[in-house]
Structure 1
Amino acid sequence: MDRRKFIRHSSLLGIVGTGLAACNVTDELFQTNEKCAPNILSFAERRHWLSSFSCNIEQWFRPIPFLDRINAAKALGFSAIEIWNPHQVKQGKSPNAIAQRAIDLNMRITSYSPGAPNFADPNNEKVFKRWLDVAIEAGKALNVSNFNLTGHKKIDGLTTQEMIKNYTRMLKWAAPRLESENMVATVEPYNPWNHKGHFIYGKEPALSICREVNSKSIKLNWDFFHMQRTNGNLITNLEEGFDQVEYIQLADAPGRNQPGSGEVAYGHILTRLRELGYQGFIGAEFFPKDKNALKAASDLAYLAKSVSLHPPRF
């Protein structure tokens, strides 16, 4: 999509969001067909209530060039974005290019996932140490102090306990370096339903690993979608692991779409999250249902409004 067409569609979205457009407006970029729909919040209200959330532009807006997705997130009312690996040139990604577009649009980047090697494998120790340098430099360019850490695929010939031991050992090695840079690596447990072949799923062993490392720079990315698919009992498990939580992501289950599309009572969860003292952004790492980004953003804003979710505090 060329830039003129993108700007035209972004402007149209703003008009639809404020309720000034006529009925039957169709927008090919955002996959909307709103007939004066009363359940779409105005742009001003969306922007206010989306202030707690960071839009994952890897899963939103996939038909358009990567950097233009930052524009799209802003057009919907988001003030922050999260990304995955910033070093993918073929997709138009580089830390400096992403950072510059975010600066130009006054958008904040809250998290990135720089594709960690499988460092539970002792053969990857040197690779991991070189990768850590690259990950830290990316964070400096992006002006983000925390990045997502996986690297926990199963390794043939090793037991689960051996993999956990190797993984923990490398985190203990990385912790002092990260502390000196005032950065945090957030271990992200997956779920066995759609992330097969890993050894870190749900609350454990991730929580025990972080407690053993015992560093302010090694914490958890607590993704409620993965936690629901693995453990359930979301509020109790959050309470038990909250001391190690650095970053939060969400998606409804089982479909990994926006809250309200599945079985998770996110109103109660987000209320408890703030009560526990989490003051940061909440990553909207989900696929908008039916590829309707405007509806997904409005649903997310309605959720925040329903529980008076206060914005991040720093």
Structure 2
Amino acid sequence: MTELPGRTPHTPIAVNIEMWFEGDFVSRIEQAAALGFPAIELWTWRDKDLAAGGEALRKHGMTATQFTAWGFGQQVNHPDFPVQDFVAEIEAACAAAALLPGCEMMTVVGGDNIPGLSKEQMHAALIEKLRAAVPVLEAKRKMVILEPMNPYNHPGHCLYGSADGVAICQAVNSPWVRLNWDLFHMQRYEGNLIDNLEMHREWIGYVQFADSPGRNEPSTGEVNYSEVFKRCRELMLPVPFGAECLPLGGDARRAAERLYQVDLASA
């Protein structure tokens, strides 16, 4: 097995340092570098020394792809949530992204169901916030990637699957708002991965993956990731892809080796 299994032969990978490693921000970057990964992704940013992390990434010739600008906290999908508060947070996230080499995207999570509101009302509120953030995104040259979830891992959420995710992007109508197309969530919610990738390719800003149903690395579940990776490359989807998966048994090196073999077979 290669000494640097994170240096996959065909599909560049951004390893999710929150799920793969332990320690502070810089330590996790060092662990990713030791496995050969060319890029990382992360979740929260306010709890990290981004300047130190950016320096560590540059030292190893690595980049960051994206982080979570808006997670499961305040309900951005509530009509009464102030638009200006959301826009201000996106502006702060753009400044944070500028500290990390290569970081041009940030994930937004749509929010859980709100009692008394229909899905249509919640989506309309989300569309309003995203539209308001577009001038900031355009000025800063950053992209929001909206992430649909799945009801098994995230019950009671307001946004599942490709159809609703694409409809929201269409309503926002900006090249600065696309989807974080997490293949794990898409498999659990609707399956038919390759056809849906082909149908909705123009709305995909970023691809994440984990095998289903355990959310571990490829080759540990039901998805033929060699074929999926191959088709993703043929569709010229943006790379790196995000390895938002839990190493089986907590063994990061073994997970990277499995990922390397899956990608090798995708030629």
Structure 2 length normalisation: TM-score? 0.93
Q: Structure 1 residues 51, 272: closer, same or farther in 2, change over 3 A?
A: closer
For residue 76 of structure 2, the aligned residue among 119, 132, 141 is 119
* The 10-residue stretch of structure 1 (48-57 or 195-204) with the greater mean CA deviation from structure 2: 48-57
2:70 is paired with a residue whose SS is coil
Equivalent residues in 2 for 1:233-248 (5 A)?
233-248=192-207
Q: Structure 1 residues 184, 225: closer, same or farther in 2, change over 3 A?
A: same
Instruction: Confirm or deny: 8 A CA contact 1:49 1:302 kept in the other structure.
Output: no
1:167-198 Cα distance to aligned partner (Å, 9 max, x none)? 11111111222112211000000111111221
Counterpart for residue 227 of structure 1: 186
Counterpart for residue 217 of structure 1: 176
1:200-244 Cα distance to aligned partner (Å, 9 max, x none)? 011131111101211110000100000011111111111111110
Q: Structure 1 residues 277, 98: closer, same or farther in 2, change over 3 A?
A: same
Runs of 4+ deviating beyond 4 Å: none
For residue 136 of structure 1, the aligned residue among 84, 94, 119 is 94
Cα distance in 2, alignment partners of residues 145 and 184 from structure 1: 6
For residue 56 of structure 1, the aligned residue among 7, 11, 16 is 16
Equivalent residues in 2 for 1:255-270 (5 A)?
255-270=214-229
Q: Structure 1 residues 162, 46: closer, same or farther in 2, change over 3 A?
A: closer
1:31-71 Cα distance to aligned partner (Å, 9 max, x none)? xxxxxxxxxx2215653528611110000013x33320111
Structure 2 runs not aligned, ≥5 long:
none
For residue 304 of structure 1, the aligned residue among 253, 263, 266 is 263
Which residue identity is paired with 1:260?
Answer: S
Count of residues paired in the alignment:
263
Is 1:105 matched with 2:64? no
Structure 1 runs not aligned, ≥5 long:
1-40, 309-314
Deviation at 1:95, TM superposition (A): 2.4
1:118-157 Cα distance to aligned partner (Å, 9 max, x none)? 2111232232122112111111122311111114221222
What fraction of aligned residue pairs are identical, expressed as a percent? 35
2:208 is paired with a residue whose SS is strand
Q: Structure 1 residues 45, 302: closer, same or farther in 2, change over 3 A?
A: same
Which residue identity is paired with 1:246?
Answer: G
Instruction: Confirm or deny: 8 A CA contact 2:206 2:238 kept in the other structure.
Output: no
1:81 is paired with a residue whose SS is strand
1:269-306 Cα distance to aligned partner (Å, 9 max, x none)? 11111111214111011000011111100111111111
CA RMSD of the aligned region, Å? Answer: 1.6
* The 10-residue stretch of structure 1 (143-152 or 263-272) with the greater mean CA deviation from structure 2: 143-152
Cα distance in 2, alignment partners of residues 211 and 253 from structure 1: 28
Counterpart for residue 2 of structure 2: 42
Instruction: Confirm or deny: 8 A CA contact 2:208 2:244 kept in the other structure.
Output: yes
1:74-98 Cα distance to aligned partner (Å, 9 max, x none)? 111111111111111xxxx132232
Cα distance in 2, alignment partners of residues 206 and 79 from structure 1: 29
Cα distance in 1, alignment partners of residues 122 and 6 from structure 2: 44
Cα distance in 2, alignment partners of residues 191 and 303 from structure 1: 24
